[in-house]
């Protein structure tokens, strides 16, 4: 199993540009999520999905869109990048449900800089 | 709402030193508590967890005990190695909560010198 994979690893954008961060998992997990990690702060949830075709907002969703057309893939779209979106982005997946079935597996991250 | 407070970093230790990273939390009821580790260039990995009061989670020589009376879950290791250099995150989840309800602390950078 490759686990959770993310591409690209690094990206530099100019303000106003758009891009898609890719995330894929091969563990047949129903639950997938996107976090951003900023200095001095813990991970903050951007969007999540409990299954194909179902997405919802997390704590900091503004400026980001997601879709979930397959169980495996959960891309994150920045429609018009802003410097405030400079961050490290992590994708995670888990079996779903509640309680002890919730261990999350994280991808290696994408470091995004918006100039 | 729920919150997690970790000791400020960075922490620098010599090899074989004793490690403590403090973590306290605010939550209702009996949340599940976690420590995640992030090695350089990698994503977070679950290090250990505890789901009820007085439980001790342990893994790779690290331990943490769920203390309801002090709302704490401090991470300890008796003898750190250079390979333990990483960022450590404390986190909580409400009882029977879902993955989206994880609340993370701000992380503590640990550097172990040979």
Model pLDDT for residues B40-58, shown as the tens digit of each residue: 888 889 999 998 899 999 9
Half-sphere exposure of B70 (CA within 13 A, CB side): 10
Q: Is A105 left (phi over 0), alpha (psi -120 to 50) or beta?
A: beta
Decide: A92 and A107 in contact? Cβ < 8 Å: yes
Residues A46-89: pLDDT tens digits?
999 989 999 999 989 999 999 999 999 999 999 999 999 999 99
> What pLDDT was estimated at residue B29?
83
> What would you report as the CA-atom Rg of chain B, rounded to the nearest whole angstrom?
13
What CA–CA distance (Å, rounded) separates B28 from B34?
16
Determine contact: B40 vs chain A, CB below 8 A: no
> What pLDDT was estimated at residue A97?
56
Residues B59-88: pLDDT tens digits?
999 999 999 999 999 999 999 999 999 999
- Lookup result for tokens 């403590």: B20
Q: Is the pLDDT of residue A98 over 80?
A: no
Distance from CA of B11 to the nearest CA of A (A): 14
Residues of B numbered 65-104 whose beta carbons fall under 8 angstroms of chain A's beta carbons: which are they?
89, 91, 93, 96-100, 102-104
Distances (CA, A) of B59 to A83, A115, B12, B49: 39, 41, 21, 9
Nearest chain B residue to A30 by CA: give it: B99
Whether A43 sits inside 8 A of B89 (CB atoms) is yes
> What pLDDT was estimated at residue B100?
67
What CA–CA distance (Å, rounded) separates B56 from B66?
6
Q: Is the pLDDT of residue A108 over 70?
A: yes
Nearest chain A residue to B95 by CA: give it: A99
Which class for A20: exposed (0-12), middle (13-18), buried (19 or more C-beta within 10 A)? middle
Average pLDDT, chain A: 91
Q: Is B70 left (phi over 0), alpha (psi -120 to 50) or beta?
A: alpha
Q: Is the dihedral of CA A60, A65, A70, A72 positive or negative?
A: negative
Cis link prior to B114 (omega < 30° from 0)? no
What CA–CA distance (Å, rounded) separates B50 from A21?
33
Alpha helices per DSSP H over chain B: none
Q: Is the pLDDT of residue B18 over 80?
A: yes
């Amino acid at each position: 199993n490759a686990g959770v994979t993310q591409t690209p690893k690094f990206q530099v954008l100019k303000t106003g540009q758009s891009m898609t961060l890719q995330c894929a998992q091969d563990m047949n997990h129903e639950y997938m999520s996107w976090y951003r990690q900023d200095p001095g702060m813990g991970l903050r949830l951007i969007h999540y999905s409990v299954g194909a075709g179902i997405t919802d907002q997390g704590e900091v969703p503004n400026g980001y869109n997601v879709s979930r057309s397959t169980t495996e893939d959960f891309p994150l779209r920045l429609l018009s990048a802003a410097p405030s979106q400079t961050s490290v982005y992590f994708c995670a997946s888990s079996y779903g449900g509640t309680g002890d079935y919730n261990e999350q597996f994280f991808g290696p991250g994408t470091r995004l800089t918006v100039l | 709402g729920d919150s997690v407070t970790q000791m400020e970093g960075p922490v620098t230790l010599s090899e074989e030193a004793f490690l403590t990273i403090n973590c306290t939390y605010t939550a209702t009821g009996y949340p599940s508590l976690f420590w995640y580790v992030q090695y350089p260039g990698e994503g977070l990995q679950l290090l250990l967890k505890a789901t009820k009061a007085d439980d001790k989670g342990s893994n790779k020589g690290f331990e943490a005990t769920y203390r309801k009376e002090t709302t704490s879950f401090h991470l300890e290791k008796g003898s750190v190695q250079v390979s333990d250099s990483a960022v450590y995150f404390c986190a909580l989840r409400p009882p029977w909560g879902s993955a989206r309800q994880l609340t993370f602390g701000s992380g503590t950078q640990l550097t172990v010198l040979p």
